[in-house]
Chain A
Amino acid sequence: MTDAAIPTTLATRPKSGNFWLLLWRQFRAHPGGVAGLIVFSFIVVAVYVGPLIHTIDPNKIDIKAKNQGPSLAHPFGTDNLGHDMLAQVMAGGQISLAVGMTAMSLALLVGTLVGVLSGYSKKLDGPLMRVTDLFLALPLLPLLLVIIMLFRDTLRAAFGPETGIFILIVFVIGITSWMHTARIVRGDVLAVKSQEFILAAKSSGMREYRVILKHILPNVMSSIMVSATLGIASAIITESALSFLGLGFPSDFPTWGRLLFDGANFLQINPSRVLWPGLAISLTVLSVNYIGDAIRDALDPRALKH
């Protein structure tokens, strides 16, 4: 009986390879998605590889060269303390992107777990969905602000100023943005669960958790992916909004939102201080949203008909 599981896994493997190939083929047909992918890859490469080429330390203070316009030495100019803006934008991007990715992963993990559990088990469905509804009814931005204000100092003392605030922000964003993923995954699991191959896997004596891992999860992967791209975008926006309100990362550990917040006070002297970080946030979010749209279109069965 246990042998029965082997052919099914073998049969799904080439099919899943095909799935990615098909997805890519559909994705390529969406010009916005391709442009988004190119822009996003460019931003990621620039932010992580850029500091190797433009080697000025982002925290180096050069008070003699303050508030300068763009020049060869400082392509984005300098701020009121003589920090090099290009180096700061790149360093900020590393943190912003890291926050976006980690918070998205956390939200995805919680959302998928809740979604699969409530879709798969009838007993857990009611309570888990009530919890999801409750979370959806929470006013998120005010709560995020409150949580950060209250727990910032404690976590800073425990983990150091940088790691502490990073953990806090990632945790807080992740824990408040899993609900949509959970709902979508639950719907998909409910649809997949009633199909014959699940019954076949179960009757072949497969353990429940293996049925979930091997058969259910691969089939809800597509909606998880769409949630993931949209999750990165909203996490980056939330983080920069928090930093913009002065309740995110500190100035000496800047993110794009924080740079924008600090630059807003020097609008008249140096408007480019606002422009670069703001442009970076907007381009990242825009490109990620386009990628998400393209993936959704590629996975939409109705789109195949046209």
Chain B
Amino acid sequence: MFTFTIRRLLFAIPTLLAISFIIFALLDLAPSDPLSDLPLTIPPEVREQIRAAMGLDQPFLIRYMKWLQQFFINEPLNIFEQLTGLTIGTGERMRVLSWATRSPVVDLIVQRLPQTLWVVGLSYLFGVLLAIPIGVISAYRQYSIFDQIGTFIAMVGYSVPTFFTGVLLIVVFSSWLQWFPSIYDTNLVVDSWSSFVMQVKQMFLPVLVLTLYNTSQISRFVRASMLDNLHMDYVRTARAKGVKEKVVLLVHVLRNSLIPVVTVIALGVPTIFSGAIITEQVFRVNGLGQLLITAIQGADIPLVQTLTFIFAVLIVLFNLIADVLYGILDPRIRYD
């Protein structure tokens, strides 16, 4: 298992390098000029100076190497320094700068991360917590009314895009009933009971939308996995031994059914981040997704490159986690 993890980690490096190259090349070789938005009155020599200041006068490969160095060496060192207070070398390093704000990209991401983690993370947690009991009951009472309604709602939640459910909830709860605000206020400081209530209120709708989507997706998996296991021989054996039905269901069947579900949950984490782009846009939550959208609209290429690459790192990382978890949880799986 350990050697497998090490091997997978080593495999992840070339994958990530290839992805970073694809992202960098795609953005760099695209037929659009980052200076095209500037006024035409700027003389050509000044224009050249601006290009040089952005580092655009150097060849493609050198820029790619510099970006790699900034992203993989300089930024981690900076984070390490901030965490420990130590200074390594001179402490002066070139950082990935955003073209729009001229501030380091990593700082922007650190500012936006909490909002995304709160809204998206909470909804994923709720999704998992709701999906498992729903899936279990649905499978155990297959074709019952609960199962029929549950699978139908899961199908609807899985098919209806989040930008429609979000807008629909805004129409009902913000526009008609006026229970919840439709826009997420990031400047809200939670220091009293009333501001806490306000925070809960403004998080309610985005979390609800994402929870509905996550619950539907995961509960479908739980149900299918439970159904696969309920007809196995070991379940009959357990019942024949006289094991209580509750124990059969919750210990024997559920534990086995959760093995594939855990990997699905792990694999879903990165897609949640990119899927939340839309929900953040609907509710104006200024998290990572909105940062990406504004960066794309403003053609802020370093920021877009870094964010997209971070999403890629998350996908590769959680793929790895899913594989390793599968090996740990299911003793029948042997990678070596």
Contact = CB atoms under 8 A, between A and B. Distances in A.
A278 B277 contact: no
A244 B171 CA distance: 17
Contacts of A139: 270, 274, 308, 311-312, 314-315
A153 B308 CA distance: 22
Interface in A27-59: 32
A268 interface: yes
Interface string A254-276: 00010010001001100100110
Interface stretch (B25-33, B72-80, B117-125): B25-33
Contacts of B158: 289
Interface string B198-228: 0000000000000000000000000000000
Given A244-B163, A245-B281, A278-B167, A138 B27 contact: no
B161 A281 contact: yes
Contact of B277 (A142, A150, A237): A142
A87 interface: no
A281 B308 contact: no
B328 interface: no
Contacts of A9: none
B293 A138 contact: no
Contacts of A281: 160-161, 164
A241 B161 contact: yes
Interface in A61-117: none
B168 interface: yes
Contacts of B270: 139
A174 B312 CA distance: 20
A284 to B, nearest CB: 9
A286 B160 contact: yes
B308 A282 contact: no
A138 B175 contact: no
B266 interface: no
Contacts of B282: 264
B292 A142 contact: yes
Nearest to B32: A150
B159 interface: yes
B296 A145 contact: yes
Contacts of B18: 134
B87 interface: no
B19 A149 contact: no
B296 A240 contact: no
B4 to A, nearest CB: 16
Given A137-B316, A139-B270, A146-B304, A245 B27 contact: no
A240 B270 CA distance: 21
A247 B296 contact: yes
A247 B171 CA distance: 24
Interface string B306-326: 011001101110010000000
Interface string A285-306: 1100110010000000000000
A268 B319 CA distance: 43
Contacts of A290: 155
Interface in A103-154: 133-134, 136-143, 145-147, 149-151, 153-154
B175 A141 contact: no
B170 A240 contact: no
A244 B167 CA distance: 11
Contact of A143 (B23, B32, B299): B23
Contacts of B156: 282, 286
Given A282-B159, A285-B159, A289-B158, A150 B27 contact: yes
B15 interface: yes
A170 interface: no
B278 interface: yes
Nearest to A151: B30
A282 B163 contact: no
B275 interface: yes
Contacts of B26: 143, 146-147, 150
A233 B275 CA distance: 16
Contacts of B31: 150-151, 154
B182 to A, nearest CB: 8
Contact of A267 (B167, B304, B312): B167
Nearest to A280: B164
Contacts of A141: 274-275, 277
A137 B175 contact: no
A3 to B, nearest CB: 46
Contact of B19 (A32, A134, A245, A285): A134
Contacts of B65: none
A260 B162 CA distance: 12
Contacts of B22: 138
A137 B163 contact: no
Contacts of B297: 149, 246
Given A151-B31, A274-B168, A290-B155, A138 B281 contact: no
B173 to A, nearest CB: 12
Given A151-B30, A260-B167, A274-B171, A142 B160 contact: no
Contact of A142 (B164, B274, B319): B274
A217 B133 CA distance: 41
A196 to B, nearest CB: 30
Contacts of A153: 32
Interface of B: 15, 18-19, 22-23, 26-27, 30-32, 155-156, 158-161, 163-164, 167-168, 170-171, 175, 270, 274-275, 277-278, 281-282, 292-293, 296-297, 299, 304, 307-308, 311-312, 314-316, 319
Given A241-B161, A274-B164, 7 more contacts: A138-B312, A139-B270, A149-B299, A245-B278, A264-B282, A274-B168, A281-B164
11 contacts: A32-B155, A138-B22, A143-B23, A154-B31, A233-B159, A241-B161, A244-B278, A245-B278, A245-B281, A282-B164, A285-B160
